[in-house]
Chain A
Amino acid sequence: MIAKPRIPDLLPEPGGPVGRPVPRVDGRLKVTGAARYAAEHPVPGLLHGYVVSAAIARGRITGIDTAAALAVPGVIEVFTHRNRPDLARFDRTWQDGDAPRGSPFRPLCDDEVQFSLQPVALVVADSPETARYAARLVEVTYEAREHRTDLHAHRHDSFTPGKAKGGFEPPPPPRGDPDRALALADVRIDARYTQATEHHNPMEMHATTAVYHDDGTLTVYDKTQGAQNTRSYICKVFGLPASAVRVLNPFVGGAFGSGLRPQHQLFLAVMAATQLRRPVRVELSRPQMFSFGHRPETIQRVALGARRDGRLTALIHEAVQESSRHETYVEIVVNWSGQQYRCDNVRLDYRLVRLDRATPLDQRAPGAATGVPAIEMAMDELAFALDVDPVDLRLRNYTDTDPNTGKPFSSKELRACFAQGAERFGWARRRPRPRSMRDGRELIGWGVAAGVWDAMQGRATARAVLGLDGRLTVSSATADIGTGTYTVMSQIAAEVLGLPVEAVTFRLGDSDLPTAPIEGGSWTVSTVGSAVKAVCDRVRARLFDLASAMDGAPLGGAGARDVTFAGGHIVVTADPVRRVSLTDVMRSGGLPAIEEEAMSLPYMVARSRHTLGTHSAVFAEVRVDEDLGTVRVTRVVSAIAAGRIINPRTAASQISGAVVWGIGMALEEETIFDHTLGRCMNHDLAEYHVPVNADVPEIDVIFVDERDTVVNPLGAKGVGEIGIVGVPAAIANAIFHATGVRVRDLPITLDKILMRQEE
């Protein structure tokens, strides 16, 4: 056991807004429409670009006839690979902060078509309608080459990727002798699990408004999860200094990972604006939202061996996943299985197949939302084979140290998740036998699954300015993609300085603000929140020093640990009549404002000695129509262990939203490919199904108490992703419990249930 290091700057037990369900500070702007998104910023003289998308999956453009488009009144220019400006040559210049190893897609680079729906031209006109119409008139001819888009057909043509992307860890080496242990096991499960390609489809489609200024500088409104990542990409690709480009993304209408990398509408808008020296907006259509990153299609094998008492003796988890030909996209799919369960004989294997598709892209809990459902379905199969309660089986194989690394978890209250979730759900009343619960023609099933995700932290800087009006402005170049960043950062700042939340303004979504990384990986509270705390700690120290030097000694010589900041005052904790207002302190010091900047770093040493993660236990009830195979999810309880919850309202909203998506993953979401054409066919929201309100039941979210002094000074782990991870398997397991039919292919549409029933 490694002793936990002494960490001096933990957030004390909160007495202010941290931990309270503060309503979104930007809520009013959103519901009144005052919040502007990337395609909504009014710009005089704005031109509009519309993308022409490739009709083939692989080949060469042999001709582009733009005459008819250019003849349309109002059309300014048609950009193709033939008239694009000279651009950066080297791959690394095109690599953004979330790029995997390889050669990033370069829009309009040459005559090569790498994937269906690839942008091949941009029509710029004085109205969006004209641009879209003229785009239809661009005649593109192709010489098609043989393509491959079918993962199943090519799954054996795979390779093992290295550490091809930041944050990726290849699977650990095998432990013990898993094949022999499997062969000798009392009970064995060995099955194949598959999951369809999914596209992010945030409500707001990707858009960029690029404003060119007379001095050659640019203001760019982009749909992105990282204004500085976008700025860096523009500067590298177009050879501009950072000072010449400002990127703004104050509001983002959902992203789920789709905004982690600069998408081609950004390049096209900036290229057109700089070439035409006019402001240009490019907004993708809904079908074009299927033209870039996505959750990759995956084929997995999970084999489990166990003793009669339920202890795992063998665990094999193999995954084959798609990447593109030009980049090596990787995500952690199989490692979770070795981390979640105690087992001496383990082999984890992760391989890729190159397909003629756009490069996949992180999508909410990338890898975990793919790999964990497979192991969690397999655990359910094992529980059934052993006739052991599925919760009990997981507890029998529970581990407090990470078997992949031998390190302890910084905190792991998964047992409490199971206990509290089961209690709330009424799990004890479950009849174990499948098809044993029904209501008329409906079979009722109860399923459970665990979830796990990382508790990552990066480096960030924040600036704070406290004015004589008592208002505090804190800023950092992070993003709020709907998660509640504005609100929780305001709470953290208000907590440290003892201010009401209303006295704090948090600014984000501007590349000119202090450095922050892309908003993703559930690390924004951890990363930016820690910087906000750090800078507010500095302001607090300045204020205390000034107060201590004040005439009349209002604090009576109290030390820094003897005072509390509350209600806009510094108060001597033991003698609350001794107090001084923050603004009086500033006036006495002759300061019109206090301004500080601070960078926060992860506790590198402490972190390196631990495995840090969030955990969940998800319980689901389904009703399956016995004749028709239709599935309704009627109840979900999700119990989450994620450290300190800064705001239970916005956090619960993250979990509920993720449960909704998990229902979609389990039952509905699938990008359907025609492999003859190499093209996805259901590229709109009528045929690409996501849950509608009628599909969404009561969702009960529990946050269990979890104290963590390693993760960061806030003790908060982040909740953006953990909410989805356990949901698909909980539903799949509930369907098995209801019907006795095991469908291992997500999404579980009714045809799969009916066909398995007939077998």
Chain B
Amino acid sequence: MRPFRYARAAHLDDAIAAGSESGTAFVAGGTNLFDLMKADVLRPDTLVDVSRLPLDTIDDTPDGGLRLGALARNADTAYDPRVQSRYPMLARAILAGASPQLRNMATNGGNLMQRTRCYYFYDTATPCNKRAPGSGCGAIGGVNRIHAILGASPSCIAVHPSDLCVALAALAATVRVTGPDGERTVPFAAFHRLPGDTPERDTTLEPGELITAIDLPPQGFAAHSTYLKVRDRASYAFALVSVAAALDIDGGTIREARLALGGVAHKPWRDSGAEAALAGKPATPATFAEAAGIVLRDARAHDHNAFKIGLARRAIVRALTEAAGGKHP
């Protein structure tokens, strides 16, 4: 990889100051960043190592929710008893991703920042607007079986690869961010962005801003939620389609619903319209199919990924059915 400067931040302020310089990247677990640097996809001048900052705890919040430290490891988060009992959908999503070794290294904040697995993004000999703005999109008209069916643009049809983020989207988590102008909170739905004509930007973070924590609201839908991941092999593959489904059911009637998809868009795809349509309805397959129809009403296929539309429809119905049944394998 290209030579770079390395600085270890002892304090959050130091990290923010250093991270505000252009050409700087924060690094924690490094499970995605280092790969991308070796592939010459990312070329930071300076790495600011934030892994020693005291942001690795998981704490109860006064409102009854849970605060996931940005530097808490994915594995520690998934196996935290509070996460397992109160947010089982989140635990399940984390364990559906990567491998044990990677989950041991990868941090929660880093998971939000991981880059797409689009082939063209990874191969510097090919065009990619996300990697090299203006070079074109190789996947449009190219190989696009794993690409987006929702929210894509003529510039980019890449998908976000995270499992954890899909569950966070469904849980309506809040991302706590500290930057040169102090701390702010970002609703999860507003953290990642659609490609538009600036696909090089995955998130709404500003330069120098660092994720410090992810807040989970008290409602974890522990009784009726699931995370379903459909992929090309049983483990260690990114989602073709994944679904985080959560229901609050009262006597067979849905009081509140949450529905988010992975593997289908440039960001975790939460559809509040579908959620609203589920509320007040009986928890039946017909209701679920209707919700799936709403989620996919604007779905658009490319040459090789038309199957994802039907697959997503089936996966949504399956996930909601499992959630309603309270199944937690």
A residues with a Cβ closer than 8 A to B are 53, 55, 129, 132-133, 136, 287, 441, 627-630, 632, 667-668, 672-674, 676-677, 679, 681-684, 686-687, 689, 691-695, 749-751, 754-755, 758
Contact = CB atoms under 8 A, between A and B. Distances in A.
- Do most interface residues of chain B lie in helix, strand or loop, or is the interface mixed? loop
A127 to B, nearest CB: 12
Interface in B1-35: 1-3
A730 B311 CA distance: 26
A692 B141 contact: no
Q: Which of B3, B117, B119 has the most CB of A within 10 A?
A: B119
B122, B123, B237, B310 — most chain A CB neighbours (10 Å): B123
A55 B125 contact: yes
Contact of B143 (A55, A441, A674): A674
A687 B147 CA distance: 13
B39 to A, nearest CB: 8
Interface stretch (B52-60, B65-73, B228-236): B228-236
B314 to A, nearest CB: 4
Contacts of B117: 686-687
Interface in B142-177: 142-143, 145-146
Contact of A627 (B125, B126, B236, B314): B314
A683 B122 CA distance: 10
B233 A751 contact: no
B315 interface: yes
Contacts, number: 92
Given A676-B141, A683-B123, A689 B311 contact: no
Interface of B: 1-3, 38, 40, 117, 119-120, 122-123, 125-126, 138, 141-143, 145-146, 230-238, 240, 306-307, 310-311, 314-315, 317-318
B234 A672 contact: no
A133 B2 contact: yes
B235 A751 contact: no
B233 A629 contact: no
B143 A672 contact: yes
Given A676-B142, A751-B145, A694 B234 contact: yes
Contact of B240 (A53, A691, A750): A750
Contact of B142 (A629, A681, A694): A681
A683 B3 CA distance: 25
B323 to A, nearest CB: 15
Nearest to B314: A627
A506 to B, nearest CB: 36
Given A628-B315, A674-B138, A691 B119 contact: no
A53 B310 CA distance: 39
A755 B315 CA distance: 15
Contacts of B307: 750-751, 754-755
B316 to A, nearest CB: 11
Contacts of B120: 681
9 contacts: A441-B318, A684-B122, A687-B117, A689-B237, A692-B235, A694-B235, A751-B240, A754-B311, A758-B310
B314 A679 contact: no
A628 B235 contact: no
A749 B235 contact: no
A682 B119 CA distance: 6
A679 B143 CA distance: 10
B310 to A, nearest CB: 6
A208 to B, nearest CB: 21
B232 A749 contact: yes
A679 to B, nearest CB: 7
